[in-house]
Each structure stands twice: as C-alpha cells, then as structure tokens.
Amino acid sequence: MAELKVYGADWCSDCRRSERLLVGLGVEFEKLDVEQSAELAAEAESIAGRKNIPVIQFTDGVVLVEPSDATLWAELKIRGLVS
C-alpha cells in the first residue's frame, strides 16, 4: 500500500518536482491525475480547501498543498519514510 496520495497533473511543474523527489527517495505513492477525472479534481479541492496542486495526503491524514522539497522531505522524515 502506498504511503501517500499525490493529486496532480502532468502539466504542473510543482507536481513533477514533488514526484521527482518522491521517486528519487524511493517513497511509494499513488498518483492521482486530476486532469483525467473531475471526481479526483473535486476530491483534491475538498481535501485542500483550494484548487492548488499538488495535494499530497499521507495515510495519517496530514495534507500538504504545493509543498517545497524541504517541507515534503521533512514530513517524510517525521514519518520514518526517509532517513
């Protein structure tokens, strides 16, 4: 099971940056393309409270919206997903 969900779109540079970081660190995630599904777009907006992407949701319920690499890395470290 993936440790987190990433709501994003291929055209989004922030989404690609966050995904590159996760892949580089070997963190398993579920990629949810909001461009391909109005339902996923609405779900991401509901979770984030706004339309910005990426929306990154951890299994413990913590949500990050458009995080910097440093913020995302720190949250991964807190959860023991990276060392």
Residue 11, domain CATH: 3.40.30.10
How far, CA to CA in Å, does 65 sit from each of 48, 83? Answer: 7, 23
Residue 36 falls inside a structural domain: yes
- Whether the Cβ atoms of residue 53 and residue 14 lie closer than 8 Å to each other: yes
Total structural domains in the chain? 1
83 part of a folded domain: no
Going by the DSSP 8-state scheme, the letter that residue 68 receives in this structure is -
Confidence band of 1 (pLDDT split at 50, 70, 90) = low
Q: How confident is the model at residue 2 (pLDDT cuts 50, 70, 90)?
A: confident
24-44: per-residue pLDDT in tens? 999 999 999 999 999 999 999
Task: List the domain range (segments joined by +) for residue 22.
Answer: 4-78
